[in-house]
Chain A
Amino acid sequence: MALYFFTPFIAIILTILGGGIIFYILGFNPIEALKFYFLTPISNLYGLSELLLKATPLCLIAIGLSFCFKSNNWNIGAEGQLTFGAIVGGGVALLFYNQEGFYILPLIIIAGAIGGMIFALIPAILKTYFNTNEILVSLMLVYVSKLLLDYLVVGPWSNPEGFNFPETRQFSDSSRMPLLFEGLRIHTGIFLALAAVMLSWFVLYKTYLGFQIKVSGLSLKTAKYAGFKGKTMILVVFMISGACAGLAGVGEITGPIGQLHRMISPDYGFTAIIVAFLGRLNPFGIIFASLVVALTYLGAETAQIFLQIPKYTGQVFQGMILFFLLASDYLLFFKVKILSLKKNELRH
């Protein structure tokens, strides 16, 4: 069990080494490049605030995904659920664009969560009632939601005074997440993420639903034998997951962005899958993992400025983390095997 939570650290160390090698091959000084990547971004208060800002949506989405993955439901369309949540939440924000009031932000947040939930229900319903593969459906819906957003910001929702830029009006001040500190971008959305962590811990480890989810993940046959309502559970885990992704989307548009436009998320929905795995689908592990992966985003931006490396390199690191993590699981597998061999020996 200790090894289970230790291997993510091995994966991170191997990723840093791998990154150094790639930088070396590309002709950069690896030590210096890695410093720009992993230390420079968080060497000041602004950087730390940016780190938390980026970790917030990753953490939220990954918490939601952990419900799906734990129960063997492969929702990989969180990016679409994030986008649709942002569309619904953003629609509410645009309704109130010239009004102020304490009730506006809660309305937007609820609308975003419901939006994400509804969008996640599509693959869930198709899976439960039509036996359809949820991986492909949830993924296809990512593109559909992004095209819908594109249509809205170019067409009916575009800012009438915006000189045809593909963006909506700015949201009113009441529609924005309050900032935590003057001059930094970190906002109160982080409390949504922390609340999600706490709630998910409670649900997963202290409730009957959490028990069902875990059992279904370990063995579908056992779950059936125990008489769990499989279909309801699938719908519920997708709804939780979609709601979290929708919240993340709303957090982005009411936080740092303040309007709707084409690029509301740098693939947070996909990257959160890595976060969920790196955090071992454990709520507190996910907090840690979201900070690590957020650093790859920040590092990529810093490296782009200082070393002129395309910021897509963040994805190289993200991919490598997942590769190494999965590979290091082999150690676990091996250990299980050795243990079970020993047991067998005892039996004979």
Chain B
Amino acid sequence: MSLDISFIGILIGSIMASSVPLILAASGELITERSGVLNLGVEGMMIIGAISGFALMVITDNLFIAVVGSMLSGVIISIIFGFLTQSLLTNHVATGLALTIFGIGLSAMLGKNFVGIPGKEFPILFSSLKESIPFFGPILFGHSIVLYFAFALPFLTNFFLKKTKLGLVVRAVGDSPVSASNQGINVILVRYCCILYGGAMCGLAGAYLSLIYTPQWIENMTAGRGWIALALVVFATWSPIKVLIGALIFGGITILQLHMQAIGFRIPVQFLSALPYLMTIIVLVVISRDSRKIKLNTPTSLGRIFYKEK
């Protein structure tokens, strides 16, 4: 296989495609965590999004309804998490874990009749430009609209958190819920909104997998991507732009590992597959060692239960 310039372009294009679900889910979770809520249910919300999107596509034959429906299903299932952690004050870690286990089970139950049905082709934009421009064509063009949205999302998230008043409110709630509450901010309401937003993005991430990336329904098809997205948020020290970079690195490893197999690279494929996980651990160690660095962006109240005395 020759490593010519157009091949590298195609390679980068496929790396971008594989990083989309990670960007979407991690950006959603980032907002949730910035408000001080740790939701370990990303994997569960993603898989629910994946089956809902696919099922709606099969039933309505309408991709728009499928995509919107997948986001709604993510919202609905995250309501369970929000209600438990915010209204019933349950432990975030345990509740999130329950959400993931529940989501994987429920998706398999709902998806029973959708196994083996072929997916529908998702429209791609600027497909003519993709072919005509070497190198940049496959990178910039010929993707689904969800991909373009995903690549804009970290910048939008960054703008939201740093430049808007609402973003400030979210950060205030995450860093000091008590002071925010004393300022008259409804902490519980803000956290609810952030949890539901996270659910919507995870639902969309799941739908990207079942409608666009590998257009079909397979049980447990998110295959641990939700957990990687969670790690990515920490990897990025809660900074949206770094989420984008991290997702591209992780997506890159996934794609490279496929190609290395194809050209008969000597390293066993399992070791390459383990790389993203090992890298997350290494990055965690590096950033956590310097407590100032991690404190700079870490929502101070992350995972702590907030309770307002009445």
Which A positions have Cβ atoms within 8 angstroms of B? 22, 26, 74, 76, 126, 130-133, 135-137, 139-141, 143-144, 147-148, 150-151, 154-155, 270-271, 273-274, 277, 308-310, 312-320, 322-323, 326-327, 329-330, 333
Contact of B99 among A126, A139, A147, A319 (CB under 8 A): A319
* Cβ of B256 to closest chain A Cβ, rounded Å: 16
List A contacts of B9 (CB < 8 A): none
- Indicate if B62 sits at the interface (CB-CB under 8 A): no
The answer to whether B104 touches A133, judged by C-beta atoms less than 8 angstroms apart, is no
* Cβ of A231 to closest chain B Cβ, rounded Å: 15
Question: CA–CA, A150 to B274, complex, Å?
Answer: 11
* Cβ of A213 to closest chain B Cβ, rounded Å: 18
The answer to whether B274 touches A139, judged by C-beta atoms less than 8 angstroms apart, is no
A-B CB contact pairs (8 Å), 16 listed: A22-B109, A126-B285, A141-B277, A148-B270, A309-B112, A312-B104, A312-B107, A312-B219, A312-B220, A315-B104, A318-B105, A319-B98, A319-B102, A323-B84, A326-B94, A327-B84
User: Nearest chain-A residue to B279 (Cβ)?
Assistant: A140
A-B contact count (CB 8 A): 139
- Indicate if B101 sits at the interface (CB-CB under 8 A): yes
Question: CA–CA, A340 to B93, complex, Å?
Answer: 27
Q: Interface size for chain B: under 10, 10 to 19, 20 to 34, or 35 or more residues?
A: 35 or more
List B contacts of A318 (CB < 8 A): 101-102, 105
The answer to whether A326 touches B98, judged by C-beta atoms less than 8 angstroms apart, is yes
Question: CA–CA, A273 to B220, complex, Å?
Answer: 20
List A contacts of B231 (CB < 8 A): 136, 139-140
- Indicate if B227 sits at the interface (CB-CB under 8 A): yes
Question: CA–CA, A323 to B277, complex, Å?
Answer: 28
Contact of A131 among B88, B107, B291 (CB under 8 A): B291
Interface of A is mostly: helix
User: Nearest chain-B residue to A123 (Cβ)?
Assistant: B281
Chain B 261-301, CB-CB to A under 8 Å as 1, else 0, gives 00000001011011001101100110011010010000000
Question: CA–CA, A64 to B288, complex, Å?
Answer: 27
Contact of A130 among B44, B84, B95, B285 (CB under 8 A): B285
The answer to whether B88 touches A327, judged by C-beta atoms less than 8 angstroms apart, is yes
The answer to whether B89 touches A330, judged by C-beta atoms less than 8 angstroms apart, is yes
List B contacts of A141 (CB < 8 A): 277, 281
- Indicate if B172 sits at the interface (CB-CB under 8 A): no
Question: CA–CA, A33 to B289, complex, Å?
Answer: 52
Which one of B98, B102, B103, B234 has the greatest number of beta carbons of chain A within 10 Å?
A: B98
Which B positions have Cβ atoms within 8 angstroms of A? 40, 44, 80, 84, 88-91, 93-95, 97-109, 111-112, 219-220, 224, 227, 230-231, 234, 268, 270-271, 273-274, 277-278, 280-281, 284-285, 288-289, 291, 294
The answer to whether B105 touches A315, judged by C-beta atoms less than 8 angstroms apart, is yes
* Cβ of B259 to closest chain A Cβ, rounded Å: 18
List B contacts of A315 (CB < 8 A): 101-102, 104-105, 108
The answer to whether A313 touches B105, judged by C-beta atoms less than 8 angstroms apart, is yes
Question: CA–CA, A319 to B84, complex, Å?
Answer: 13
List A contacts of B278 (CB < 8 A): 140, 144
List A contacts of B271 (CB < 8 A): 147, 151
List B contacts of A76 (CB < 8 A): 93, 97
* Cβ of B214 to closest chain A Cβ, rounded Å: 19
List B contacts of A333 (CB < 8 A): 89
Question: CA–CA, A326 to B112, complex, Å?
Answer: 29
Contacts A315-B102, A319-B101, A330-B89; is A131 near B109 (CB within 8 Å)? no
The answer to whether A151 touches B89, judged by C-beta atoms less than 8 angstroms apart, is no
List A contacts of B277 (CB < 8 A): 140-141, 143-144
User: Nearest chain-A residue to B103 (Cβ)?
Assistant: A319
Contact of B105 among A126, A136, A139, A314 (CB under 8 A): A314
The answer to whether A316 touches B291, judged by C-beta atoms less than 8 angstroms apart, is no
Contacts A323-B84, A326-B95; is A147 near B274 (CB within 8 Å)? yes
The answer to whether B270 touches A74, judged by C-beta atoms less than 8 angstroms apart, is no
The answer to whether B88 touches A326, judged by C-beta atoms less than 8 angstroms apart, is yes
List A contacts of B291 (CB < 8 A): 131
